[in-house]
A and B are shown apart, each in its own frame.
Chain A
Amino acid sequence: MNQSEQNTHAPAGVQPILQARNLVKRYGHVVAIDHAEFELYPGEILAVIGDNGAGKSSMIKALTGALKPDAGEILLEGKRVEFESPLEARAAGIETVYQNLALSPALSITDNMFLGREKRSEGFLGKYFRKLDRDFMRREARKHLNALGLLTIQNIDQPVETLSGGQRQGVAIARAVAFGSRVVIMDEPTAALGVKESRKVLDLILDVKRRGLPIVLISHNMPHVFEVADRIHIHRLGRRACVIRPQDYSMSDAVAIMTGAKEAPVH
């Protein structure tokens, strides 16, 4: 069946904010992405699930500029884009929260929030001596953490390594939200966390959604996916098998489709 004819439960008449059409990536004889389709709509949480090796990481990498597809196109708000690097995707407003968080443990929360996009002071010292505007960065970091209800973090200057796993995840998410103007992609945000901290991170994800930012959530955790996702993109054998709504299917159905034990639904 042609993927583009699938019922993806897309909202009618709305343009996807991020879209991939007919994406292909081959490594020698291995086809990592096999004519894959992808759509993310404004304001939604789209979960992407798939077995290990199904090619969901490759597809996400293509969307974030970490991998250059052999064929197909990527559209951001309807305009075709070609990312040469993750930096370009970031500049276009697509922020990724990586599984390893990409935080520097010995640096402070503020330093981490602005890592790689530090703000220089206005005026002479900033211009000629490249002095950082540390007060500005502290204020902004505090503002963004507060906005997401991460008030429990007392000292904005404390090194990230002194935070718990959930708090670190919070800092990484706050960073993505602070700079991600269009899309936030989260790779397994709850994989390394305990029950309590997972709960907080899920609340955080819902909070980010309420702020209007669409989220791509890559996860293996079915209860988490079914709890927060609006639509679930099931990836199998390098392509999209189907898109389901959590209210229409059970978790075991989703796993069965994912592993091929059950046919993808045809509407």
Chain B
Amino acid sequence: MTDGANPAGRAGPAEQERVLASTSQQEHVSFDDERRTPLKRFQQFLHANPTTIPFIVLALSIVLFSAIVGSRFFHPFNLSLVLQQVTIIAILGTAQTLIILTAGIDLSVGAIMVLSSVVMGRLAVLAGLPVPLAFMLGLLVGVACGLLNGFLVARLKLPPFIVTLGTWSIFGALNLWYSASQTIRQQEVAEAAPFLQFTGTAFNFLGARITLGSILMLIIAAFIWYLLNRTAFGRHVHATGDDPEAAKLAGINVTGTLIAVYTLAGFICSIAAWALIGRIGAISSISGATANLDSITAVVIGGTSLFGGRGSIIGTLVGALIVGVFRNGLALAGADSLWQEFAIGLLIIVAVAIDQWIRKVSA
């Protein structure tokens, strides 16, 4: 830059001195907010409010797709479709959030959900058990699966990734064996156990079709939010994921917290099974195949850190909505479904990169 092009050129050296002075000062006074660059301040703001980014991304994606596909996107019917598609992923996402907050990961959430739904369906429809009993046993299967994961992670101290990779296969195989790879048709479920399809019941809200499954999703999310933010257990979950050694020294039962988290996640997955049956009507051993990774995607895009200790349920709901909006918007725009996967992949990588950047505030 020449002096001619820069009318304020005379201020240059003084400006430089000021910058130098401020940087040298920063070495001594590390808690001086005044001297931070706007980018640094933005980074700090995000560190304090990590769910800002998911909300911005959601807003941008809505603007983007409404610009591309026009009013079709905002049609109440389309919005209710997005919501229904998001429901299952969001319920599994709340379970996944709990686990990722403890710096773990659960690859088996989808498998637990499908196994629970198959147990509910076969016991109620084919074995002729009373529906409430079949339902409870289905929930129990979810709890047992979660307890097994929790035991292996917390007691045997095996890495969560490996544990749930293993149980994903095991639960999947049990599911194929028990269901004999048969599908229970929608009609059969409706006749023998209408209660299992109850979550598919829809009502009209401002022209949009809302299912009870979506309401169930909100109830679960609200419950887990309360648990994480308003109870001691929630603090212990965060502390366990943040720094397990420190948590132990502070007197927290880290092992018990981990087992409780995995078990609770298993329970939520079995509730998701109920929502799944309501959504597709039939009970199939192959439904929900992509649910595992989609739930992790929702959590990560929602701003929860894979390193544990920080994240939120609200972020996960927004993350699930972002995934839903992208899939729906790209489909409406007539893009091949492979581009949906492409976009989701991009979102994941960007989300993790942003998380890494935000975490550097504390370093």
Known contacts A120-B232, A132-B230, A164-B31: A102-B362 contact under CB 8 Å:
no
Within 8 A of A (CB), among B213-232: 226, 230-232
**A182 to B249 Cα, complex, angstroms:** 19
Residues in A whose Cβ lies below 8 Å from that of B239: 104, 107, 111, 115
- Among A87, A103, A164, the one with the most B-chain Cβ atoms within 10 Å of its Cβ is A103
Mask: chain A, 153-164; 1 = CB below 8 Å from B; 0 = not: 000001101101
Whether B233 pairs with A104 at a CB distance below 8 angstroms is: no
**A3 to B31 Cα, complex, angstroms:** 49
Select the stretch in B81-89, B150-158, B240-248, B319-327 that faces chain A: B240-248
Residues in A whose Cβ lies below 8 Å from that of B246: 100-104
Which of B232, B233, B242 contacts A105 (CB under 8 A)?
B242
Mask: chain A, 90-109; 1 = CB below 8 Å from B; 0 = not: 10000010101111111100
**A105 to B232 Cα, complex, angstroms:** 17
Known contacts A105-B309, A131-B231, A162-B362: A86-B249 contact under CB 8 Å:
yes
Whether A116 pairs with B252 at a CB distance below 8 angstroms is: yes
Residue B5 is within 8 A (CB to CB) of chain A in the complex: no
Whether B251 pairs with A90 at a CB distance below 8 angstroms is: yes
Residues in B whose Cβ lies below 8 Å from that of A107: 235, 238-239, 242, 309
Whether A102 pairs with B231 at a CB distance below 8 angstroms is: no
Residue B14 is within 8 A (CB to CB) of chain A in the complex: no
Residue A130 is within 8 A (CB to CB) of chain B in the complex: yes
Residues in B whose Cβ lies below 8 Å from that of A158: 48
Whether A104 pairs with B250 at a CB distance below 8 angstroms is: yes
Residue A117 is within 8 A (CB to CB) of chain B in the complex: yes
Q: Which residue of A lies closest to B252 (CB)?
A: A116
Whether A115 pairs with B245 at a CB distance below 8 angstroms is: no
Residues in A whose Cβ lies below 8 Å from that of B232: 118, 120, 130, 132
Interface of chain A, helix or strand or loop or mixed?
Answer: loop
**A134 to B31 Cα, complex, angstroms:** 27
Whether A161 pairs with B249 at a CB distance below 8 angstroms is: no
Residues in B whose Cβ lies below 8 Å from that of A111: 235, 238-239
Mask: chain B, 132-176; 1 = CB below 8 Å from A; 0 = not: 000000000000000000000000000000000000000000000
Whether B235 pairs with A118 at a CB distance below 8 angstroms is: yes
Q: Which residue of A lies closest to B249 (CB)?
A: A102
Q: Which residue of B lies closest to A120 (CB)?
A: B232
Known contacts A104-B243, A107-B242: A116-B251 contact under CB 8 Å:
yes
Residue B361 is within 8 A (CB to CB) of chain A in the complex: yes
Closest chain-A Cβ to B363's Cβ sits at a distance in Å of: 9
Name the interface size band of chain B.
Answer: 20 to 34
Interface of chain B, helix or strand or loop or mixed?
Answer: helix
Residues in A whose Cβ lies below 8 Å from that of B310: 106
**A130 to B227 Cα, complex, angstroms:** 9
Residues in B whose Cβ lies below 8 Å from that of A103: 243, 246, 250
Q: How many residues of chain A have a CB within 8 Å of chain B?
A: 30
Closest chain-B Cβ to A181's Cβ sits at a distance in Å of: 15
- Among A86, A103, A104, A162, the one with the most B-chain Cβ atoms within 10 Å of its Cβ is A104
**A148 to B250 Cα, complex, angstroms:** 21
Whether A104 pairs with B238 at a CB distance below 8 angstroms is: yes
Whether B30 pairs with A106 at a CB distance below 8 angstroms is: no
Mask: chain A, 128-152; 1 = CB below 8 Å from B; 0 = not: 0111101000000000000000000
Q: Which residue of A lies closest to B44 (CB)?
A: A162
Mask: chain B, 26-59; 1 = CB below 8 Å from A; 0 = not: 0000110000000000000001100000000000
Whether A117 pairs with B238 at a CB distance below 8 angstroms is: no
Residues in B whose Cβ lies below 8 Å from that of A96: 249
- Among B233, B239, B246, B250, the one with the most A-chain Cβ atoms within 10 Å of its Cβ is B250
Q: Which residue of B lies closest to A115 (CB)?
A: B250
Residues in A whose Cβ lies below 8 Å from that of B230: 129, 131-132, 134
**A118 to B250 Cα, complex, angstroms:** 11
Residues in B whose Cβ lies below 8 Å from that of A100: 245-246, 249
Whether A130 pairs with B233 at a CB distance below 8 angstroms is: yes
Q: Which residue of B lies closest to A157 (CB)?
A: B48
**A90 to B252 Cα, complex, angstroms:** 13
Mask: chain B, 105-143; 1 = CB below 8 Å from A; 0 = not: 000000000000000000000000000000000000000
Closest chain-B Cβ to A196's Cβ sits at a distance in Å of: 9
Closest chain-A Cβ to B309's Cβ sits at a distance in Å of: 4
**A102 to B254 Cα, complex, angstroms:** 13
25 A-B pairs (CB sep. < 8 Å)? A100-B246, A100-B249, A102-B246, A102-B247, A102-B250, A103-B243, A104-B238, A104-B242, A104-B246, A104-B309, A105-B362, A107-B242, A116-B247, A116-B250, A118-B232, A118-B235, A130-B231, A130-B233, A132-B235, A134-B230, A158-B48, A159-B48, A159-B362, A162-B361, A164-B31
Closest 5 A/B residue pairs (Cβ): A116-B251, A102-B249, A118-B232, A161-B362, A104-B239
Known: A104-B309, A132-B232, A134-B230. 9 other contacts (CB 8 A): A86-B251, A100-B245, A103-B243, A104-B246, A104-B250, A115-B250, A130-B233, A131-B230, A164-B30
